[in-house]
Amino acid sequence: MIDIMTRLKIHNMAEGGAQQATIAEKCQVGLRSVERILAEPVPTACEVAANVRETAVRRGRPSKADEELVAWLRKELAAEPTMMATELLRRSRAHGYTGGKSALSELVKRLRPSPKLEPVVRFDGLPGEYAQFDFGEVWVKLDGDRREKVIFFAGRLKYSRFMHVEVVANQNSETVVRSLIECLTAFGGSPKEWVFDNPKTIRLSAWGVEPVVLHRYLRDLVAEYRVIPTFCAPRSGNQKGSVERLVGYSKKSFFLARTFRDRADMLAQLTEWLREVNHERPCDATGVIPEVARQDELRWLAQRPVQATGGAHTLRDTATVTPMGTISWGGTPYFATAQRIGAPATLLIRRDTIELVVGDGGEKCVHVRRDGVGVVQRHPEQRDDMLGAVRGRRKQATFRRQCLIELGKPARDFLGILVHVCPDGRWEQPCAELFDLLQEHGDEAMRAALGRCVTRKRYTAADVVVALREAA
């Protein structure tokens, strides 16, 4: 519960122009709490004064809990040690308690029995036996005052404590696989066992459900490296304490301890920091420099060598060619062929490209990746193929126009004016001329030319020809 004085301070700082991230840091509250409090009314002077009086009275008054009530509370807590104070307050009213919630909560805190501690058994890894992996999130300072959220993937060999940290864009399944490979590359090969939490990007089946169902990308990687995936029980981060400590250590020792000019500077500093902690600093747990200990692991790690870098690694997926002649992946439609509508296809997904292998004949088509909903990937020959498959003059005209719209905002802005200035809405002929220019000059040149025409407020096919010639 955030007190009224802190809420008032948050409102005052916001009125003074402070950013929410700065407010959260100064007031030592979460960013979501700042957003929630700013959506609430500003505390009034009467409310603040009443809070001050109540606090003063509460600090000086004796407890309303007599010996009988204390004995009753001890009995209730002995039977249900985790019972919430709010429930105990409700029940205590029947025993004559007339005090406030805060006073009873303090009493319950003192009376509640300490949880029974179970012995902790240390579990050290053997050379090349296993590594632990996890994601972390942290807000960093860029260019002095600007704050930006950073997601990172951390991996650590249990035996040597050799570690790797990779800054990533997200926590999806593709990122898991590629980051895993980057960690293995840094390690010098793969250990026998990989230890994870239970995110849906890795494990699809619920905890306790057998057999364990892995995400298809991780399943393929596990088979390729012949390793054993192991998962920690829910709410049992201590089962992978080494990497949990690594995530915390990475935050405090690197990300929060430094200021970065930009992302490039952050990555450069991260590389140097990893060199120091792996090659120069003895591990607190073992007293040995991680790189020295890693030498004992290399002969085991080398039995599972890294096949390709994270960027070059190929993910495999399957799909079916839609009636529009496309295969969708990651929200982006990639065009195959209108002649193979309904045919099965295999997707070979690399960091920069997607290769489609369609049908039994294995027809191949490679696209440059442009991830994002609404982005369309189509080769010139695929446009001709689809145009030949479409029957009817009107459908063909609509298809030509759609291919132009797929170029993005410059094309939409250009066509938006063109359609409105065409007499009787006859856009078919100018769109046909623009389509021919697109096929001849390509997507990028056409996109740039249309953008120049919009800037100049020129909206004919002849104007686009001029813009194309200028660029050439």
Domain count, the chain: 5
- Has residue 119 been placed in a domain? no
Q: How far apart are CA 69 and CA 248, in angstroms?
A: 43
Same domain, 434 and 368: no
Of 440, 444, 441, 430, the residue nearest 397 (C-alpha): 430
| 211 prior amide bond cis, ω within 30 | yes
Element (H, E) at 110: helix 101-111
Contacts of 405 (CB under 8 A, 6+ apart): 411, 412, 415
Same domain, 337 and 286: no
**Final residue in a domain of this structure, among 378, 404, 429:** 378
Predicted model pTM: 0.64
- Has residue 385 been placed in a domain? no
Residue corresponding to tokens 């985790």: 82
Domain that holds residue 26: 4-60
- Has residue 124 been placed in a domain? no
Same domain, 72 and 55: no
Q: What is the DSSP string of 361-404?
A: TTEEEEEE---STT--B--HHHHHHHHHH--SHHHHHHHHHHHH
Same domain, 278 and 354: no
Same domain, 48 and 83: no
Query: Are residues 411 and 418 in contact, defined by beta-carbon separation less than 8 angstroms?
Result: no
Same domain, 53 and 72: no
pLDDT in tens, the chain (472 residues): 677 778 778 887 887 778 888 888 888 888 888 888 888 877 765 565 556 445 544 443 434 446 777 888 888 888 888 788 888 888 888 777 777 787 778 888 888 877 766 666 667 789 999 999 999 999 998 887 788 999 999 999 999 999 999 999 999 999 999 999 999 999 999 999 999 887 788 887 777 777 888 888 999 999 999 999 988 776 555 555 566 677 888 888 899 878 899 999 999 999 999 999 999 999 888 899 999 999 999 999 999 999 888 888 999 999 888 887 788 887 788 887 666 788 898 999 998 888 888 887 778 888 888 776 556 667 777 787 778 777 888 889 998 998 888 888 889 999 988 888 776 668 888 899 999 999 999 888 999 999 999 999 988 899 999 999 998 7
